[in-house]
């Protein structure tokens, strides 16, 4: 199983103009720990909505690559959005689920993936172009390449250790996060 911080850091090496939407909680902390960046849109709420923000952005900017990085709890809450994305077929959208099979923010209660609910199978059933699970750090470079070049929609379910890692807290002001993102995207 993967160390979440090492894995996310490797995904975001030399990220270039990759646009990143991060789901609330640990996914946001992991992306921030890999290095704050104006093209990160950090969520601190709106649970279940991360993938759909990625879809809206991917449709608006077909010339850029969009990566949604989120947790299993957020993805389970927005499972219908996988069907919506599969129907719409955005070629520039990838979703990385950091799946520790637990709700880390609320006391590590087991999530449905802990009981065997398979988000890779769900994504494939929802017409995703590609979906797979990864659990070794050696696979991170290949996942990173997929974020930048593979034809979407794709979903990567990253099996991470249910470790309690120190929080890295980025910007919380939604207006500031939005404004910074939009300005950086416009100046690319």
Partner 1 sequence: MEGARRRLSYLAFGMAWDNCKSSRPATPSTPRPSLHSPTKIVTDWPEAIYAHFRRVGIRQVGYVPDAGHSRLIALCRDDPNIADVVLTTEEEGVGLVAGAALGGERAALLMQSSGVGNCINMFSLLRNCGFGCVVLVTMRGEFGEFNPWQVPMGTIAEEVLRLAGFLTHRIESADAVDEIVGAGCDMAFNSNLPVAILLSQRLIGAKQWTR
Size of the site for partner 1 (CB under 8 A): 35
Place of tokens 């099979």: 101
Tell which one of 1, 9, 52, 117 touches partner 1 (CB under 8 A).
52
Which of these ranges, 4-12, 27-35, 108-116, 173-181, lies near partner 1 under the rule CB under 8 A?
173-181
Binding of partner 1 at residue 106 (CB under 8 A)? no
Q: What's the Cα-to-Cα distance from 107 to each of 27, 162, 170, 172, 187, rounded to whole Å?
A: 16, 11, 21, 22, 41
Tell which one of 7, 20, 26, 41 touches partner 1 (CB under 8 A).
41
Tell which one of 32, 47, 94, 119 touches partner 1 (CB under 8 A).
47
In angstroms, rounded to a whole number, what is the distance separating the alpha carbons of residues 159 and 156?
9
Binding of partner 1 at residue 45 (CB under 8 A)? yes
Which residues of the shown chain bind partner 1 in the complex (CB under 8 A)?
19, 21, 41, 45-61, 78, 80-81, 83-84, 87-88, 174-175, 177-178, 181-182, 185-186
């Amino acid at each position: 199983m993967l160390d979440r911080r090492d894995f996310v850091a490797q995904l975001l090496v030399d990220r270039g103009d990759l646009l990143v939407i991060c789901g609330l909680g640990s996914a946001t902390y992991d992306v921030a720990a890999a290095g704050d960046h104006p093209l990160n849109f950090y969520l601190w709420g709106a649970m279940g909505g991360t993938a759909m923000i990625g879809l809206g952005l991917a449709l608006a900017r077909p010339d850029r690559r969009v990566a949604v990085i989120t947790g299993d709890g957020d993805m389970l809450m927005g499972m219908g959005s996988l069907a919506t994305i599969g129907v719409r077929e955005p070629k520039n959208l990838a979703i990385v689920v950091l799946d520790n099979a637990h709700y880390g923010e609320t006391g590590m209660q087991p999530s449905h993936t802990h009981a065997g609910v398979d988000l890779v199978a769900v994504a494939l059933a929802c017409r995703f172009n590609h979906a797979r699970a990864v659990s070794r750090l050696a696979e991170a470079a290949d996942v990173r390449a997929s974020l930048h070049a593979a034809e979407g929609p794709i979903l990567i379910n990253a099996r991470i250790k249910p470790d309690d890692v120190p929080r890295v807290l980025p910007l919380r002001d939604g207006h500031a996060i939005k404004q910074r993102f939009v300005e950086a995207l416009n100046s690319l």
